[in-house]
């Protein structure tokens, strides 16, 4: 018998509101020792996912020098100055989770074979995927959950079978 999503998923999901600030999200992820969290709208529906990578990329892109070789030295200097002005102004208004989250929510049904989930995660370069029952999210499978399959001999044997 093949291993199904509900057998390895983590059923408790720590979601954050899209209105939280990026700094509050960073503290939440750190405090809970997780790297990402689903994002909910005002009605509690999941509308995206926000990760430490999103925070890092936002901060990196705000400070990154322009690599456009077509600009003159003077234009490059002006572009850097404008970026710094924008970044300073953005610092005055808190960046919200909705501004940095990935709005795409990929999910699979609880009865999806783990091998199919692995293929989706590999092809889409995902570290986590939501698990649903009747279109409602009931859990999450992360790369850590996938490691359970490898570390549990019985699960590994079941996954290896072509049922």
How confident is the model at residue 92, as a pLDDT?
Answer: 67
Question: Hey, what domains does the chain have and what are their CATH numbers?
Answer: 5-56+96-160 (3.10.580.10)
In tens digits, the chain (163 residues) has pLDDT values of 789 999 999 998 888 999 999 989 999 999 998 888 899 899 888 899 999 988 888 877 655 554 555 777 788 778 777 777 766 665 666 789 999 999 877 899 999 999 999 999 999 998 899 998 887 888 999 999 999 888 988 888 888 776 5
- Measure Cα distances from 140 to 28, 68, 117, 127 in Å: 18, 40, 11, 10
The answer to whether the beta carbons of residues 9 and 133 sit under 8 Å apart is no
Residue 67 has what pLDDT?
A: 53
pLDDT of residue 66: 47
Task: Return the axis-axis angle of helices 22-31 and 52-63, rounded to nearest 10°.
Answer: 140
């Amino acid at each position: 018998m093949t291993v199904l999503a509900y057998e390895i998923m983590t059923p408790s999901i720590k979601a954050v509101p899209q209105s939280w600030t990026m700094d509050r999200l960073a503290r939440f992820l750190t405090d809970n020792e997780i790297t990402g969290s689903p994002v909910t709208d005002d009605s509690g529906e999941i509308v995206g996912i926000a990760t430490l990578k999103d925070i890092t990329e936002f901060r990196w892109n705000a400070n990154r020098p322009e690599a456009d070789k077509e600009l003159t030295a003077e234009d490059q200097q002006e572009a850097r100055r404008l970026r710094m002005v924008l970044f300073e102004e953005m610092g005055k208004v808190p960046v919200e989770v909705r501004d940095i989250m990935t709005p795409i929510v990929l999910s699979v049904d609880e009865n999806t074979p783990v091998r199919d989930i692995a293929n989706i995660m590999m092809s889409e370069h995902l570290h986590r995927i939501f698990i649903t029952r009747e279109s409602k999210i009931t859990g999450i499978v992360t790369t850590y959950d996938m490691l359970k399959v490898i570390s549990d001999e019985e699960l590994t044997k079941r996954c290896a079978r072509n049922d």
